[in-house]
Amino acid sequence: MKVSKISCVLVLFIALNAYPFEQNLIINVDHRSTVSLNGKWQTIIDLYEAGYYDYRYLPSKNGFFKNAKARNKTELIEYDFDKSEVLNVPGDWNSQREKLLFYEGTIWYKKSFDYQRRPDTRVFVYFGAANYHSIVYLNGQKLGEHEGGFTPFNFEITKVVREKNNFLIVKVDNKRRRDAIPTVNTGWWNYGGLTRRVKLIEVPETFIRDYFIQLKRGSLKTVAGWIQLDGNQAEQTITVEIPEANVKQTFNTNADGYVEIEFDAELQLWSPDNPYLYDITIKSQTDELHDSIGFRSIETKGSKILLNGKPIFLRGISIHEQAPKSQARAHSKDHAETLLGWAKELNCNFVRLAHYPHNEYMPRTADRLGILVWSEIPVYWTILWENENTLKNALNQLTEMITRDKNRASVILWSMANETPVGDARNEFLKTLAERAKSLDPTRLITAAMEKSYERGNKLVIGDPFGSYVDVLGCNEYIGWYEGRPNRCDLYTWKTTYDKPVIISEFGGGALGGFHADKDTRWSEEYQEYLYEKQIQMLEKIPFLAGTSPWILTDFRTPRRLLPRIQDYWNRKGLISDKGKKKKAFYVMQRFYKKLKLTEQ
Ligand code: GCU
């Protein structure tokens, strides 16, 4: 019997959907009892993975995870963490040492610490992120592995941790792989290392591990969600308190420590003009956890995006996780405040965090500043669509992204992908992701950054088949940069085959900050300025336009931009240079958004 290719793909996706997506990620670590392991870590650069494989390329039993020391003058040990150089954590390794700028491979990290565990508690080691593949060991024992460079993970160490001289060892490998997510070709620097914070988390034997507390889809007063306990005392009474809203609700968890919650409340709705966050307390018989959560509804109606039931235009900007005025990957609260502060200065009420989940300070700062967020997983360009592990990996990164940020009012859009080529296997792959996102979070909008097609008579069409599985259509276009010159914008009219909101999720062009010439000279600030003027004229005519997020807030490091003395491994499409200087186009966008803002009032 000849089994068609499509039915194989379908069988593959049904099997994967059965793939259990429960995970043990602990959320809201900032409101828990933690010990930071940030700081200087000993490191060993191991290009040939000599610390992992033996000469037969089999995993070695005497790998570096043992942190072995020569016990006498005769014993042969060929590494020594304590005599090795250090790297800062959190931090990518590429920007910390000249010789590591282009390094792709394995670096071993070691951190020693003492730990006094309180009775009846459990301890976890938590990583905000590590790029790309990590294997984690404590005191010579393997705790587990994690794949994906932009989402958090944790391992329980209760039975392994000891009072004195613990050694935590992490093998981090940022080698690019064809079957990985992202795959081998991306537009950003492949920063490697323990790029985000590392913490020890101490919790009660049975603790509140995960919860979802947001407004029910389509409601402005019904709060719905669930709470998940982790531990032996699964059946407990849980109280959810929101004192400022006179809420005190009690629920009982089942034998799996799980309970669905629903209650009505009179709430101040969160919005960019009023980013109101409530202090929430979740109490169980064995644990208590606080969080600050905003409540808002987000929906679509035809080509409109409705925030709290009212149409809103998303005045946005795209952002890479590039530390301001720095060669490094951003990771801190200060970085988040500077980047989102610049977005505010641009009169934005929205940011597209590209092309991967950014550190948690970004959505939490956006919650406080009143900035709406598009969050995306790095399903970027030419992924291996028919590879089962590639899909599992994408589903896992999606699940971790949603798990971490599902209680952030600022986050309104989950993006499944960026600029991926239309095709059956790709469509199925993305459809499976969208279904997973919907099942994990029915309250938010699904999107993806897609591409346009052409129709006679200078018509540009947004009609990607994946459009039928999203709530909002994202479309990237580079008219006036990769396609012709800025005047080309005057030629085009836009249409879409869907009655859905459209966000032009990327447009723009490069300029070397401080280089001035006439508006026809590429790389000059004047060319970029004129390009933005022409783009805005074109975009203002699109009747179904619900938002824009030009590419990009700041210049960012990339291995794909090589023009000497102009690019030098920087993408120069920023409205702000790598030195933090605003380019002329910044003010064009600032004025346009100001005008829109005034029309809303
Ligand atoms: C693409 C892509 C970006 C890239 C940009 C560019 O559209 O999505 O990641 O940086 O183009 O070429 O600058």
Give me the DSSP letters along 258-288: EEEEEEE---PPPBTTB---EEEEEE-SS-E
Q: Determine the Cα–Cα distance for residues 164 and 174; give it in Å rounded to an integer.
A: 31
- Look at residue 600 in the predicted model and tell me its pLDDT: 84
**Could you tell me the two tokens for 428?**
């199925």
Q: Determine the Cα–Cα distance for residues 300 and 445; give it in Å rounded to an integer.
A: 8
- DSSP β-bridge partners for residue 455: 459
- Look at residue 453 in the predicted model and tell me its pLDDT: 92
- Look at residue 416 in the predicted model and tell me its pLDDT: 98
Residue 12 banded pLDDT, cuts 50, 70, 90: very low
- Look at residue 10 in the predicted model and tell me its pLDDT: 46
Write out pLDDT tens, residues 480-515. 999 999 999 999 999 999 999 999 999 999 999 999
Q: Determine the Cα–Cα distance for residues 288 and 296; give it in Å rounded to an integer.
A: 25
Task: Using the predicted structure, report yes or no on whether residue 4 has a pLDDT greater than 70.
Answer: no
**Could you tell me the two tokens for 88?**
């800062």
CB of 67 shorter than 6 A to ligand 1: no
- Mean pLDDT over 155-159 rounds to 98
* Ligand 1: centre distance to CA 187 (Å): 6
CB of 477 shorter than 6 A to ligand 1: no
- DSSP β-bridge partners for residue 476: 451, 506
Q: Determine the Cα–Cα distance for residues 347 and 313; give it in Å rounded to an integer.
A: 12
- Look at residue 1 in the predicted model and tell me its pLDDT: 40
- The DSSP output letter for 188 is S
- Look at residue 601 in the predicted model and tell me its pLDDT: 74
Phi and psi torsions of 587, nearest 5°: -75, -30
Q: Dihedral, CA atoms, 217, 337, 513, 532, nearest 10 degrees?
A: 20
* Ligand 1: centre distance to CA 186 (Å): 9
Alpha helices in 377-524 (DSSP H): 388-405, 424-440
Q: Determine the Cα–Cα distance for residues 49 and 59; give it in Å rounded to an integer.
A: 10
Task: Using the predicted structure, report yes or no on whether residue 17 has a pLDDT greater than 60.
Answer: no
Contacts of 332 (CB under 8 A, 6+ apart): 90, 359, 361
Q: Dihedral, CA atoms, 549, 555, 557, 563, nearest 10 degrees?
A: 110
* Residue (of 312, 191, 328, 177) closest to 601 by Cα position: 312
State how far the alpha carbon of 235 is from the alpha carbons of 119, 240, 256, in Å: 21, 16, 7
Sign of CA dihedral 450, 451, 453, 458: positive
- Look at residue 23 in the predicted model and tell me its pLDDT: 65
Q: Determine the Cα–Cα distance for residues 327 and 188; give it in Å rounded to an integer.
A: 12
- DSSP β-bridge partners for residue 215: 223
Tell me which residue has its CA closest to atom 6 in ligand 1. Answer: 187
* Ligand 1: centre distance to CA 253 (Å): 47
Tell me which residue has its CA closest to atom 5 in ligand 1. Answer: 187
Sign of CA dihedral 300, 304, 306, 309: negative
Q: Are 203 and 32 in contact (CB under 8 A)?
A: yes
* pTM of the entire predicted model: 0.95
- Look at residue 2 in the predicted model and tell me its pLDDT: 45
For residue 196, the SS3 value is coil
Q: Determine the Cα–Cα distance for residues 482 and 402; give it in Å rounded to an integer.
A: 34
Q: Determine the Cα–Cα distance for residues 301 and 499; give it in Å rounded to an integer.
A: 9
* Ligand 1: centre distance to CA 506 (Å): 8
